[in-house]
C-alpha cells in the first residue's frame, strides 16, 4: 500500500478526535443531539485549523444510517464512503476554481433534486470568499431558503471579503489557531503511535514553526522524519528549519546581562559561520527575554519544556525587571529596523550594542545651575514667558508656520516691530497696554500657548465690570495690580485715564466676598445687562441668588416672570422645556423664594410661549454682545495687527471667550 502522509492518515473522523476548537464543537454537538439544525454554516479561520475537517464530520453526522447524532457509527456504508471521499451526496466545491456566475448557476440547478442515497444533500464550498459578486448574488435566495433536504457548509480563510448578505444567512464559527503546546501534545501522541523516536525539544521547534496550523505541523513532522532517517532530534530539526541553535541565544543573553560586549560579538561571529537567519535570531532572543520576564513576575507559569529552566531562573535572578523590559523593547524595534541595515550581521550587532551601552543612568544636572543646595533654595521658575497680550477677550492666534518653527512670543514680535520703527520695544509694549480698555489675558499660540499677566500701570484704563464676579479671585488678579492699588481703591474709587485726547471713566465693581459659593450659582447672577436694555431686572438678578440647584434651577432659568402681585408670582415656562416642570420642582422654587424674602409666597407656572424673555435668553444675548465686543477689540489691537501682517497669523474665532 502506498505511503499516506501524516496529515491525511491522522485526519480526525469524529468530533472526539478533534484537538482544540471546543467552542465550535460544543455548539455543533448540542445542535445534532437536540435536532436544532441550521441550513447554512460558515467556518472561518487560518489554514490548517480544521475548517474542512469539521465540515466533513458534520456531513457524516447528518447522513449516518444509524441516525442524526454527534457520534456517527463509522461502520455503515455512508460513513465508509465519507471516509473514502466518494459519497455522492457530499458535493465539495473549490470556489477558487469556480468563481464565475455560470458555475454557481449550474451548481444551483441541481439543488431542487432529492439526495441520491443520503438523508441530506450537502454542499461544501471551500474558500467561498473567492466567488465573484454575481455568484454571491445568485447564491443569496437559495442560501436563505433552501429545500429541506439541502445543507450548505461554507469555509473561508478571509471572512472580511464576504458580503454582509451572505454572513447574515449563515451561522458563523470562528476557529482559533492552535497554540504550540497543543501541537506538541498532538505530535507526541501521533509519533508514539507510529513508533518513531523523537526528542521533545524538536517537537517544540516544529510547534513554533507551524504558527498555529496543525496541518503545517504534520507536514513539517513528515519532513523531519525523512531528514532524520526515521528519528527526530533537536539539532536535525533546527538545521532543517534553518533556525538558530538556542545555545547561541543563551550565550548572547548572558553576555548582555553581564555587559560583556566582546563576548556578545564573538557569539555573533561564531553563529555567522552557519549563515543564520538574523531576524530569526532576534526573534529567539525576544522569546527568551519574554520567558525571563514571566519568570520574574510569576515563576510558576514558566515550564521546562525547552530544557532551559535552570538558565531562565539564573537570568531572572541576575537581571532587573527594568533591564529586561529595556532589552525587549530595543530588540523589538531593532527587529523592525533590521531590513534597513547594510547587512544582517551589522544590524544585529548594532542592536546588541544598543542594549549594552544605552542604559538610563539618571538625568544629569543642567550646566550652570550650581549645587543642589543652591537649586533647592532658589525660587521656582516662571513657566510662562513675558510679553502677555491684554485685550477685551481671550483668543487663540494660529500661525501658518510649520510645526518645527520656534514659538514667537509677543515680546519678540514687539522687538521686531520696534526695530523697524526705531523705538524701544519696552516703550511699545507699555503703549500697547495703556491702549487697552479691558484687562483680561489672551493666548497667543505660535505654536506654543503664551499666557502671562502683563504689568498694568496705575493710570491705565481698567474695566473690571466686564469680568464675571464668579471668576474673580486673588489668584486671578495680576500681582502688579495688587501691589500698586489697594483693595479699597480698587473697589470704591473710579479710575480716570486719558486716552487719545478724551477722558475714559471706568467703574470698578467689587466682587462678592463668598466667591466660591457664588461660583456654583447660575451665570445669570454674574451677568449684567447692557445699559438701555429693558428687562425684568428683579427676576434676572434673583434667580441666581435662590437656594436651588439641578433641574429646579434649570426650570427657573427658562421661566419668564410675567406678573407679580405682592407676594404672588406668575411665571411662564418656555414650551420647549415642558419636561422640566412638575409639582415637586414648583414647590422647591416656592420654598426658595419664601426663604429668600422671609415671607410666605405663592406662585403659578403655566407652559406656553413667554411674553417676556427668560433669564437664559437674556444671558445668551448678553454673551453674544460681549463676544462681538471682544472680537472687535482683538482685531483693533496694534500688536495683533502686526502679528497678522508679519507672520500671517490668524485669529481663531472659536477660541475667543469674553471675560465680561
Please report, rounded to a whole number, the percentage of residues in the chain having pLDDT higher than 70.
71
Residues 361, 598: contact at Cβ < 8 Å?
Answer: no
Q: Which H or E run contains 654?
A: strand 650-658
Do 88 and 153 reside in the same domain of the chain? Answer: yes
Q: Are β-strands 602-608 and 568-574 bridged in parallel, bridged antiparallel, or unpaired?
A: parallel
Which CATH number fits the domain that encloses residue 34? Answer: 3.40.50.300
Degrees (nearest 5) of the Cα angle 606, 612, 617? 100
Q: Is 186 exposed, middle or buried (0-12, 13-18, 19+ CB in 10 A)?
A: buried
Q: Give 170's pLDDT tier (boundaries 50, 70, 90).
A: very high
Residue 64 confidence (pLDDT) above 90: yes
Alpha-carbon gap, residue 294 to 308, rounded angstroms: 14
**Arithmetic mean of pLDDT, 456-464:** 34
- For residues 622 and 9, which has the higher predicted lDDT (pLDDT)? 9
Do 60 and 186 reside in the same domain of the chain? Answer: no
Residue 619 included in any domain: no
For residue 361, what is its C-alpha cell?
543612568
Residue 442 included in any domain: yes
Which CATH number fits the domain that encloses residue 567? Answer: 3.30.300.150
Q: Which H or E run contains 396?
A: strand 393-398
Do 148 and 215 reside in the same domain of the chain? Answer: no
> Residue 523 to residues 161, 291, 541: CA-CA distances in angstroms?
55, 60, 10
Residue 499 confidence (pLDDT) above 70: no
Alpha-carbon gap, residue 394 to 530, rounded angstroms: 20
Q: Give 511's pLDDT tier (boundaries 50, 70, 90).
A: very low
**Arithmetic mean of pLDDT, 510-522:** 35
Q: Are β-strands 449-450 and 443-445 bridged in parallel, bridged antiparallel, or unpaired?
A: antiparallel
Residue 376 included in any domain: no
Q: Give 515's pLDDT tier (boundaries 50, 70, 90).
A: very low
Look over the chain and give the mean of its residue pLDDT values, rounded to a whole number: 74
Do 274 and 313 reside in the same domain of the chain? Answer: yes
- For residues 103 and 468, which has the higher predicted lDDT (pLDDT)? 103
Strands (E), 294-351: none
Q: Say what the pLDDT of residue 416 is.
A: 52
Do 112 and 91 reside in the same domain of the chain? Answer: yes
**Strand, coil or helix: 449:** strand
- Number of folded domains that form the chain: 4
**Residue 593: which residues within 8 A CB-CB, separation 6 or more?**
546, 569, 601, 603
For residue 271, what is its C-alpha cell?
553563529
Q: Say what the pLDDT of residue 406 is.
A: 42
Residue 401 confidence (pLDDT) above 70: no
Residue 655 included in any domain: no
Do 99 and 189 reside in the same domain of the chain? Answer: no
Residue 122 confidence (pLDDT) above 70: yes
**Arithmetic mean of pLDDT, 246-258:** 86
Do 80 and 11 reside in the same domain of the chain? Answer: yes
**Residue 519: which residues within 8 A CB-CB, separation 6 or more?**
470, 471
Do 169 and 187 reside in the same domain of the chain? Answer: no
Residue 140 confidence (pLDDT) above 80: yes
Do 194 and 237 reside in the same domain of the chain? Answer: yes
**Arithmetic mean of pLDDT, 333-342:** 90
**Strand, coil or helix: 23:** helix
Residue 365 included in any domain: no
Helix and strand numbers (H, E) in the chain are 28, 18
**Arithmetic mean of pLDDT, 587-597:** 89
Q: Of the ranges 331-335, 514-518, 526-530, 654-658, which is most confident? A: 331-335
Alpha-carbon gap, residue 184 to 191, rounded angstroms: 10
Do 544 and 503 reside in the same domain of the chain? Answer: no
DSSP 125: E
Residues 15, 70: contact at Cβ < 8 Å?
Answer: yes
Alpha-carbon gap, residue 421 to 43, rounded angstroms: 79
> Residue 337 to residues 268, 351, 352: CA-CA distances in angstroms?
18, 9, 13
> Residue 325 to residues 81, 286, 310, 349: CA-CA distances in angstroms?
57, 10, 21, 19
**Residue 186: which residues within 8 A CB-CB, separation 6 or more?**
19, 178, 214, 217
Alpha-carbon gap, residue 442 to 436, rounded angstroms: 12
Residue 513 included in any domain: no
pLDDT (tens digit per residue) in 640-654: 888 888 888 888 877
pLDDT (tens digit per residue) in 218-236: 999 999 999 999 899 988 8
Residue 365 confidence (pLDDT) above 90: no
- For residues 135 and 427, which has the higher predicted lDDT (pLDDT)? 135
Residue 374 included in any domain: no
**Residue 29: which residues within 8 A CB-CB, separation 6 or more?**
15, 70
Residue 520 included in any domain: no
Range of the domain at 336: 182-357
**Arithmetic mean of pLDDT, 32-48:** 92
Last residue of a domain, one of 457, 492, 507: 507
Last residue of a domain, one of 154, 174, 194: 174
Alpha-carbon gap, residue 607 to 20, rounded angstroms: 66
Last residue of a domain, one of 571, 588, 612: 612
Q: Say what the pLDDT of residue 480 is.
A: 30
Do 348 and 433 reside in the same domain of the chain? Answer: no
Closest CA to 439 of 450, 453, 426: 453
Do 81 and 130 reside in the same domain of the chain? Answer: yes
Amino acid at each position: 500500500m502506498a505511503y499516506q502522509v501524516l496529515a491525511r492518515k491522522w485526519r480526525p473522523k469524529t468530533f472526539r478526535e478533534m484537538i482544540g476548537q471546543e467552542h465550535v464543537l460544543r455548539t455543533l454537538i448540542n445542535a445534532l443531539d437536540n435536532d436544532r439544525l441550521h441550513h447554512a454554516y460558515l467556518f472561518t479561520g487560518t489554514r490548517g485549523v480544521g475548517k474542512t475537517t469539521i465540515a466533513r464530520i458534520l456531513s457524516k453526522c447528518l447522513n449516518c444510517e444509524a441516525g442524526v447524532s454527534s457520534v456517527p457509527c463509522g461502520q455503515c456504508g455512508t460513513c465508509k464512503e465519507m471516509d473514502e471521499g466518494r459519497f455522492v451526496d457530499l458535493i465539495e466545491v473549490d470556489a477558487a476554481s469556480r468563481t464565475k456566475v455560470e458555475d454557481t448557476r449550474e451548481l444551483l440547478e441541481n439543488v431542487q433534486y432529492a439526495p441520491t442515497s443520503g438523508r441530506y444533500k450537502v454542499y461544501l464550498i471551500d474558500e467561498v470568499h473567492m466567488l465573484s459578486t454575481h455568484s454571491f448574488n445568485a447564491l443569496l435566495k437559495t442560501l436563505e431558503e433552501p429545500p429541506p433536504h439541502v445543507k450548505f457548509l461554507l469555509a473561508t480563510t478571509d471572512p472580511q471579503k464576504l458580503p454582509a448578505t451572505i454572513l447574515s444567512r449563515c451561522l458563523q464559527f470562528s476557529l482559533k489557531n492552535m497554540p504550540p503546546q497543543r501541537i506538541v501534545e498532538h505530535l507526541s501522541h501521533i509519533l508514539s503511535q507510529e513508533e518513531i523516536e523523537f526528542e521533545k525539544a524538536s517537537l517544540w521547534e516544529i510547534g513554533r514553526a507551524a504558527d498555529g496550523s496543525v496541518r503545517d505541523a504534520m507536514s513539517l513532522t513528515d519532513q523531519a522524519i525523512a531528514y532524520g532517517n526515521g528519528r527526530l532530534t533537536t539539532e536535525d530539526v533546527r538545521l532543517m528549519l534553518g533556525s538558530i541553535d538556542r545555545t547561541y541565544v543563551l550565550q548572547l543573553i548572558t553576555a548582555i546581562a553581564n555587559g560583556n560586549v566582546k563576548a556578545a560579538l564573538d557569539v555573533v561571529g561564531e553563529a555567522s559561520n552557519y549563515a543564520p537567519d538574523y531576524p530569526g535570531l532576534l526573534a529567539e532572543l525576544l522569546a527568551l527575554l519574554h520567558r525571563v520576564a514571566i519568570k520574574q513576575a510569576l515563576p510558576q507559569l514558566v515550564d521546562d519544556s525547552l530544557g532551559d529552566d535552570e538558565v531562565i531562573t539564573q537570568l531572572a535572578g541576575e537581571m532587573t525587571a527594568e533591564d529586561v523590559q529595556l532589552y525587549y523593547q530595543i530588540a523589538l524595534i531593532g527587529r523592525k529596523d533590521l531590513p534597513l541595515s547594510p547587512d544582517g550581521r551589522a544590524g544585529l550587532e548594532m542592536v546588541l550594542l544598543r542594549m549594552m551601552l544605552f542604559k538610563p543612568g539618571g538625568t544629569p544636572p543642567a550646566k550652570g545651575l550650581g549645587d543642589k543646595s543652591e537649586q533647592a533654595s532658589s525660587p521656582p521658575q516662571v513657566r510662562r514667558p513675558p510679553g502677555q497680550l491684554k485685550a477685551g477677550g481671550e483668543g487663540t492666534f494660529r500661525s501658518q508656520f510649520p510645526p518645527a518653527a520656534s514659538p514667537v512670543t509677543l515680546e519678540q514680535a514687539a522687538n521686531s516691530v520696534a526695530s523697524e520703527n526705531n523705538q524701544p520695544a519696552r516703550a511699545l509694549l507699555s503703549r500697547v497696554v495703556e491702549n487697552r480698555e479691558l484687562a483680561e489675558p489672551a493666548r497667543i499660540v505660535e505654536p506654543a500657548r503664551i499666557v502671562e499677566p502683563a504689568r498694568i500701570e496705575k493710570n491705565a484704563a481698567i474695566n473690571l465690570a466686564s469680568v464675571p464676579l464668579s471668576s474673580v479671585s486673588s489668584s486671578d488678579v495680576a500681582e502688579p495690580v495688587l501691589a500698586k492699588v489697594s483693595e479699597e481703591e480698587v473697589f470704591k474709587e473710579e479710575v480716570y485715564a486719558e486716552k487719545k485726547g478724551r477722558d475714559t471713566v471706568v467703574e470698578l465693581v467689587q466682587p462678592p466676598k463668598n466667591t466660591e459659593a457664588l461660583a456654583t450659582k447660575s451665570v445669570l447672577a454674574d451677568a449684567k445687562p447692557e445699559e438701555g436694555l429693558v428687562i425684568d431686572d428683579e427676576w434676572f438678578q434673583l434667580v441666581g441668588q435662590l437656594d436651588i440647584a439641578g433641574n429646579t434651577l434649570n426650570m427657573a432659568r427658562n421661566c419668564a416672570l410675567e406678573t407679580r402681585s405682592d407676594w404672588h408670582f406668575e411665571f411662564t415656562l418656555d414650551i420647549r422645556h415642558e419636561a422640566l416642570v412638575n409639582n415637586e420642582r414648583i414647590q422647591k422654587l416656592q420654598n426658595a423664594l419664601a426663604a429668600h424674602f422671609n415671607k410666605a409666597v405663592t406662585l403659578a407656572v403655566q407652559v406656553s410661549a413667554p411674553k417676556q424673555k427668560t433669564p437664559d435668553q437674556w444671558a445668551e444675548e448678553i454673551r453674544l454682545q460681549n463676544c462681538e465686543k471682544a472680537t472687535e477689540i482683538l482685531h483693533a489691537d496694534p500688536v495683533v495687527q502686526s502679528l497678522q501682517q508679519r507672520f500671517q497669523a490668524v485669529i481663531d474665532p472659536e477660541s475667543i471667550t469674553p471675560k465680561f
